Amino acid sequence: MHGTPALSTGSVTLRNARVPGAALGRVGSGAVETVDIAIVDGRIAAIRPAGPAPVAGPSHDLDQGLVLPCLVDIHTHLDKGHIWPRKANPDGTWLGALLAVQSDRERRWAAEDVERRFDFALRCAYAHGTAAIRTHLDSAPPQHEISWALFETMRERWAGRIELQAVSIVGPDTLVSPAELDAVARQVKASGGLLGGSVAVFERSKEAMLAVVEKAGELGLDLDLHTDETGDPAAHALLHLAEAVLETGFTGKVMAGHCCVLTVQDERTVRATIDKVVEAGIAIVSLPMCNLYLQDRQGHGGTVRTPIRRGVTLLNEFKAAGAVVAIASDNTRDPFYAYGDLDGVEVFREGARILHFDHPQDAAWDWLRALTSAPAAHAGLAYRAVIAVAPPPISSCSAPGTGPNSIPARRPTASSCVPAGRSTRRCRTIANSTT
């Protein structure tokens, strides 16, 4: 949207804006409403049904353009980001990515290096209109001391622009090592973070999940884990996580990412896992772009074949069962995902295509909550990610149409955010480029 008046001071009314009901905090709504949004000194003062009557004071006609909250990217890896130019994935596989990152981390991840890439990633996200990010931090000792200290600095530096949370990520061997897990967990506690790790096919999977849940309970930490990021049906980490939560009576928040294996397991296992996840109150986050890129890739020995599976989890089924669901960017320009720019609109667009949440059409816009209010509420963010009187700031871009396929159909043609200060940035206006 070009020519938008400054929004941080004075008064202006954004007329003829189209706002999904989901963006207004209406759970389950696929409707899109036409409204006028009155802004006073950078705050939304009123939201009224659009009408032909003139409005008092300055106004800007959005011509039926979409207005969305700024987005929440609930699963990222800012410490890994942008190492691809110096450390590419040799074969495109998950194992290739793991080994490449490990090699780069051991040789290059001094505080200055991580800070430079971390800050660049945040500037990209901010330019695309993201208001809150949760990042996983590689925390295998001794990296935990470097990365968590840096995170605290970046959280303070970016306060008022992007709300930041961080989660530890360690391998399963660390989770079953009491001394190592305790060291990581105490660093997380000191830095105000969440406890996490990554488990897929691991013979001590149940033990690992019980250990991390008990440690989180001991220290009063919430949990966010990578589970079953594999196409091997022998993986049951998500089920073991849910069982551990229920067996221990853990009362903190729990999120599980990836959960790819469910697409290759039998129906009985799938049903049992989903039911346990819902009973345990675990939120599920799918990473559609990264999973599509890595999963079902066979690149060993120089051979390449066309993938058969998309790699994403059963997100529609989780939502239908009552779980809190989200989608997010995951990795950006590193060995786990060679592309991306921490652009929430890209995630929403590709998510619709990959996960098929564009149907039924009359309910499709409810999925906007998977990048806004649903993860914001689960994560306990100060930023609520809804358009309402008083709280949200404003930013802008442009895209064709306002139907549920408008963003998936074409990238917004002008993706510049209105530099209007803290209190006027947390929604995006997406103006029509076609009639």
Cβ 124 vs Cβ 342: under 8 Å: yes
The tokens describing 357, both together, are 């949440």
E strands in 42-122: 43-49, 59-61, 66-69, 71-76
**What Rg do the C-alpha atoms of the chain give, in angstroms?**
22
Residue 65 Rama label (left phi>0; alpha psi -120 to 50; beta): beta
Question: φ and ψ at 54, to 5 degrees?
Answer: -65, 150
Burial of 308 (C-beta count, 10 Å sphere; 0-12/13-18/19+): exposed
CA 270 to chain centre: 24
Alpha helix ranges (H) inside 140-200: 143-157, 172-175, 178-191
Residue 47: strand pairing partners: 37
Max CA distance (Å), the chain: 69
The tokens describing 117, both together, are 């890439």
Q: How many CA atoms lie within 13 A of 392 on its CB side?
A: 30
Q: How many residues does the chain have?
A: 435
Pick the closest to residue 345 from 409, 256, 285, 257 (CA basis): 409
Cβ 187 vs Cβ 151: under 8 Å: no
Contacts of 21 (CB under 8 A, 6+ apart): 29, 30, 31, 32, 33, 365, 366
Pick the closest to residue 198 from 165, 233, 224 (CA basis): 224
Contacts of 56 (CB under 8 A, 6+ apart): none
Give the SS3 label for residue 166. Answer: strand
| Catalytic residue, candidates 115, 163, 180, 229 | 229
How far from 359 is each of 233, 309, 400, CA to CA, in Å? Answer: 28, 20, 19
112 carries an active-site annotation: no
DSSP state string for 133-149: EEEEEE-STTHHHHHHH
Pick the closest to residue 368 from 396, 311, 406 (CA basis): 406
Say how many C-beta atoms besides its own lie within 10 A of residue 54's C-beta. 8
Positions annotated as catalytic residues are 229
